[in-house]
């Protein structure tokens, strides 16, 4: 099964991808996570991507398409994967189709998570992750069961993203509406676009996505 989780920054794609990954034995492929790792490791790609990411702009298609093309060939992707943050424009969507054709596989579903803009800013400004296992949390909506201890791995170090600040969030939302939302008609025409209510409680959203994937 190959699934795209689609939605604006802060829609909950990462949170839901982690849940679906566990439940369905799929691999989460987050271009944002991969780029942040490349930036931290100061690789050639990372150095090229860093400035764009800090400004809330999209990184060049060549870089992200190259990263995904290499990643989906790895063995752990053979049972399927969830794309989180890719594609982000029509050129990337077309490149993805070509890659999947070459591999002889096809998209199972594109799940659009619909969330009000006002909620996005609140979600993004309160979110943080475990520095060890990357489990996602939020200051008010999703706290660890024991304060300061990761539910998943017991880690006690947490981190916040450098681009989760008000100014960069506004730019990221602009980029979403200008470049990423136009991908939706592309998938609607193919008949594989499914909508879920991303404003619902986290467990409800997971249930909605599971229902889409079971159909």
Is 160 catalytic? The answer is no
Taking CB atoms, the residue at the shortest distance from ligand AMP is 32
C-beta separation of 28 from 21 below 8 A: yes
* Element at 123 (helix H, strand E): helix 117-125
Q: What is the DSSP letter of 113?
A: E
Site string for ligand AMP, 166-195 (x = CB under 6 A): ------x-----------------------
From the candidates 48, 52, 161, 195, give the one annotated as an active-site residue.
Answer: 161
Q: How many residues bind ligand AMP (CB under 6 A)?
A: 17
Nearer to ligand AMP, 23 or 54 (CB): 54
- Is 58 an interacting residue with respect to ligand AMP (CB under 6 A)? yes
**Placement of tokens 């099964």 in the chain:** 1
Select from 27, 54, 11, 50 the least CA-distant residue to 171: 54
- Residue 30: other Cβ atoms inside 10 A: 20
Cα–chain center distance at 47: 21
Question: Beta strand pairing status for 127-130 and 136-138?
Answer: antiparallel
Closest contact distance (angstroms) between CB of 40 and ligand AMP is 13
Here the tokens at position 129 are: 């992750």
User: Per CB under 6 A, which of residues 2..41 are in contact with ligand AMP?
Assistant: 9, 31-32, 35
Residues marked as catalytic: 13, 88, 127, 161, 172
Chain residues that interact with ligand AMP, rule: CB under 6 A: 9, 31-32, 35, 52-53, 56-59, 64, 85-86, 88, 92, 163, 172
């Amino acid at each position: 099964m190959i699934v795209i989780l689609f939605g604006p920054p802060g829609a909950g794609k990462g949170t839901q991808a982690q849940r679906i990954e566990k439940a369905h034995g799929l691999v989460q492929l987050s271009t944002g996570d991969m780029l942040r790792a490349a930036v931290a490791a100061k690789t050639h790609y990372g150095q090229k991507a860093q400035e764009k990411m800090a400004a809330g702009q999209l990184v060049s298609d060549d870089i992200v398409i190259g990263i995904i093309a290499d990643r989906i060939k790895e063995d752990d992707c053979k049972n399927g994967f969830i794309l989180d943050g890719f594609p982000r424009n029509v050129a990337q969507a077309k490149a993805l189709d070509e890659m999947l054709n070459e591999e002889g596989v096809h998209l199972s579903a594109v799940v659009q998570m619909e969330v009000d803009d006002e909620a996005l800013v609140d979600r993004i400004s309160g979110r943080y992750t475990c520095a060890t296992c990357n489990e996602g949390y939020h200051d008010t909506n999703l706290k660890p069961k024991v304060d300061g201890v990761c539910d998943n791995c017991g880690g006690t170090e947490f981190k916040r993203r450098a681009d989760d600040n008000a100014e960069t969030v506004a730019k990221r939302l602009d980029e979403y509406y200008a470049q990423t939302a136009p991908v939706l008609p592309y998938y609607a025409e193919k008949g594989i676009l499914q909508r879920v209510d991303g404003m619902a409680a986290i467990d409800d959203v997971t249930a909605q996505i599971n229902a889409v994937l079971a159909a």
